């Protein structure tokens, strides 16, 4: 049946070539079914079940029902597929994410509700009415969240983008993870499948992943794809686990293997999770790869977009999401460079330029320093614990260096940045903070927990260079004048009247 399935897919490709524009309105599922009938294949119950298993596998990789996928464009990214073996990362992909986050302040549990953007920059309102202001913002919420409208944009996003958000598909795929007391399945295999008699349930626990070699425990993951993924979310997890165990017993019982009860289990609910509302994107009937490019377009050089659903070449993948972030980082850098040069002209006209230099200068003589933190305060006597001040936090950013001798093909120019080398550069964030708060911060275990304490517990807002000069201009002046006063006092103390 493997051959029959692959032949049907080949014929589906020929069918769309033959149909040309008419293929735009047909789903992959409809195309395959027409061809199956035409060639009269998969007639017996067993053959039909095996074919359905392959179709479920296709629904899994596309996170969508075949009846939704576009016959014309569903596989438009195939040409970019990367070479090399598939492998599991020992310890999980989170290790990669944590390494990338190192030294970057990430604030969790801040659900964005509204994004306002315009000439003056971007304001991001999160649940609880906290507002973050910035020159530019990068939006990486999943396509499902954009579709739901749970994040309001003011002004509304351009119509072209809204239409692309609507057209592209955002499908569902779920997992059941189970930890068993021991490995009872064949230790040598990474995956095994299971056929389903009911066509509408062909994606229900159709594939099992064995993670015992990478997770350090006897872990099995059961996948749920297609229509079954949606039904799955309506069922009580306890019922689901029983159903998975019944399937495993059906496979291993006849081999004389006893299937133990799992020690721990967990069911995903990506469709019902308000921060996902699905799993990943696919090309729905009526959509095309161009919609990924539209989703990637920035708005007024203020609002930028990244995430898997903005990457035409590598959608629905982690590497696609990562590459889209690098792409946007270089776009943001370009936009900020041109804004800085405009700002410099403006700042010169307004005689504001000196304040920028002053911000660098005042940190040359810090009042307090530890880890990545440097402080300057506006105080005259050491008793003034509430004295306000500024903290400068030194962070590292990963930089994408453009390749010098890479030949970019004409139509590939704007698709992906060319990652030749990832390098690091330091940058600074600033915040307004009192001496008392700084002392509390010093007690933190390490810089990571200090950054979390600063933002979460103290509710301090981190700012870039320009905002600090803007918002903190009177504080900067006050720091300078109190510093002078302190020096005068010190001189008086040191001055001894000769007898």
Q: How far is the CB of 327 from ligand FAD (least distance, A)?
A: 13
Token digits of residue 217: 């425990």
Query: Distance between CA atoms of 232 and 202, rounded to whole angstroms?
Result: 12
Nearest distance from C-beta of residue 142 to ligand FAD, angstroms = 4
Please give the structure tokens belonging to residue 403.
């390749």
Q: Which is nearer to ligand FAD, 249 or 319 (CB)?
A: 319
CB nearer to ligand FAD: pick between 169 and 307: 307
- Measured in degrees and rounded to the nearest 5, phi and psi for residue 492 equal -60, -40
Q: Which tokens go with 44?
A: 């017996």
Nearer to ligand FAD, 416 or 466 (CB): 416
Shortest CB 97 distance to ligand FAD, Å: 9
Closer Cβ to ligand FAD, 22 or 318, answer by number? 318
**Residue (124 or 393) nearer to ligand FAD, CB:** 124
Nearer to ligand FAD, 22 or 275 (CB): 275
Cβ proximity to ligand FAD: between 142 and 472 the closer is: 142
Closest CB to ligand FAD among residues 290, 318: 318
| Residues that bind ligand FAD in the complex, under the rule CB under 6 A | 111-112, 140-142, 145, 151, 173, 175, 270, 275-276, 279-280, 307-308, 316-319, 321
Angle between helices 28-39 and 45-62 (to 10 degrees): 160
What is the distance between the alpha carbons of residues 371 and 451, in angstroms, rounded to a whole number?
11
Tokens of 123: 């304001």
> Closer CB to ligand FAD, residue 323 or residue 390?
323
| Closer Cβ to ligand FAD, 145 or 164, answer by number | 145
Minimum distance from residue 69 beta carbon to ligand FAD (Å): 17
- Of residues 372, 369, 389, the one with CA closest to residue 486: 389
Residue number of the CB atom closest to ligand FAD: 307
CB of 280 to ligand FAD, least distance (A): 4
Angstrom CA distances, 429 to 120, 149, 391, 467, 469, stand at: 19, 31, 8, 10, 12
Q: Which residues pair with 70 in a beta bridge?
A: 27
Q: CA–CA separation, 141 vs 155, rounded Å?
A: 18
Least separation in angstroms between residue 113's CB and ligand FAD is 7
Q: Which is nearer to ligand FAD, 151 or 352 (CB)?
A: 151
Q: Are 311 and 281 in contact (CB under 8 A)?
A: no
Q: How far is the CB of 123 from ligand FAD (least distance, A)?
A: 14
CA atoms within 13 A on the CB side of 463: 20
**Alpha-carbon span 176 to 266, nearest angstrom:** 6
Q: CA angle 7-9-14, nearest 5°? A: 95
Q: What are all long-range contacts of 51-54, with beta carbons under 8 Å and residues at least 24 apart?
A: 51/1, 51/4, 51/5, 52/195, 52/196, 52/199, 52/202, 53/193, 53/195, 53/196, 53/202, 53/206, 54/1, 54/2, 54/5
State in angstroms the smallest separation of the CB of 289 from ligand FAD.
Answer: 16
How far is C-alpha 447 from the geometric centre of its chain's CA atoms?
A: 23
* Residue 267, helix vs strand vs coil: strand
The dihedral built from the CA positions of residue 204, 207, 208 and 209, taken in this order, carries a sign that is: negative
Nearest distance from C-beta of residue 328 to ligand FAD, angstroms: 11
The CB-of-276 to ligand FAD minimum distance in angstroms stands at 6
With beta carbons less than 8 A apart as the criterion, state whether 450 and 433 touch. Answer: no
Question: In the complex with ligand FAD, which residue's Cβ is closer, 52 or 308?
Answer: 308
Q: Are 369 and 475 in contact (CB under 8 A)?
A: no
CB of 319 to ligand FAD, least distance (A): 6
What is the nearest approach in angstroms of ligand FAD to the Cβ of residue 83? 15
DSSP string, 135-165: S-EEE---HHHHHHT-SEEESPPPHHHHHHH
């Amino acid at each position: 049946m493997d051959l029959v399935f692959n032949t049907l897919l080949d014929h589906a490709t020929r069918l769309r070539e033959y149909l040309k524009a008419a293929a735009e309105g047909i789903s992959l599922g409809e195309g395959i079914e027409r061809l199956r009938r035409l060639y009269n294949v998969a007639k017996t119950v067993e053959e039909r079940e095996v074919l359905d298993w392959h179709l479920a596998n296709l629904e899994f990789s596309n996170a969508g029902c075949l009846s939704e996928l576009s016959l014309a464009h569903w596989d438009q990214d195939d040409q970019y597929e990367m070479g090399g073996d598939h492998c599991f990362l020992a310890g999980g992909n989170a290790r990669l994410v944590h390494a990338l986050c190192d030294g970057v302040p990430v604030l969790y549990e801040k659900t964005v509700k509204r994004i306002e953007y315009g000439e003056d920059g971007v304001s991001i309102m999160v649940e609880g009415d906290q507002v973050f202001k910035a020159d530019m913002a990068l939006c990486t919420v999943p396509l499902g969240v954009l579709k739901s409208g749970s994040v309001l944009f003011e002004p509304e996003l351009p119509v072209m983008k809204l239409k692309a958000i609507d057209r592209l598909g955002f499908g569902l795929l779920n997992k059941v993870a189970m930890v068993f007391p021991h490995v009872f399945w064949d230790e040598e295999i990474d995956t095994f499948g299971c056929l389903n008699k009911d066509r509408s349930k062909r994606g229900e626990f159709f594939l099992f992943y064995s993670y015992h070699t990478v997770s350090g425990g006897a872990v099995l993951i059961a996948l749920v794809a297609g229509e079954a993924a949606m039904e799955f979310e309506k069922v009580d997890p306890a019922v689901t686990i029983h159903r998975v165990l019944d399937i495993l017993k059906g496979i291993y019982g006849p081999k004389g293997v006893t299937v133990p009860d799992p020690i721990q289990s967990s069911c995903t609910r990506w469709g019902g999770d308000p921060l996902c509302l699905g799993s990943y994107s696919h090309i729905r009937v009526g959509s095309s790869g161009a919609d990924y490019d539209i989703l990637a377009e920035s708005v007024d050089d203020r609002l930028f977009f990244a995430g898997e659903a903005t990457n035409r070449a590598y959608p629905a993948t982690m590497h696609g999401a990562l590459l889209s972030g690098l792409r946007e980082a270089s776009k943001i850098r370009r936009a900020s460079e041109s804004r800085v040069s405009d700002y410099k002209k403006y700042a010169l006209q307004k005689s504001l330029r000196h304040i920028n230099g002053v911000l660098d200068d005042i940190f040359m003589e810090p009042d307090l320093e530890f880890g990545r933190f440097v402080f300057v305060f506006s105080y005259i006597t050491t008793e003034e614990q509430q004295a306000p001040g500024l903290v400068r936090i030194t962070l590292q950013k990963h930089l994408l260096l453009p390749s010098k001798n890479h030949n970019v093909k004409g139509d590939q120019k704007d698709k992906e940045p060319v990652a030749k080398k990832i390098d690091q550069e330091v940058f600074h964030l600033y915040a307004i903070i009192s001496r008392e708060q700084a002392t509390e911060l010093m007690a933190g275990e390490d810089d990571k927990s200090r950054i979390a304490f600063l933002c979460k517990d103290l509710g301090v807002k981190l700012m870039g260079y320009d905002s600090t000069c803007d918002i903190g201009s009177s504080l900067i002046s006050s720091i300078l004048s109190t510093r002078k006063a302190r020096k005068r006092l010190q001189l008086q103390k040191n001055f001894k009247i000769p007898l």
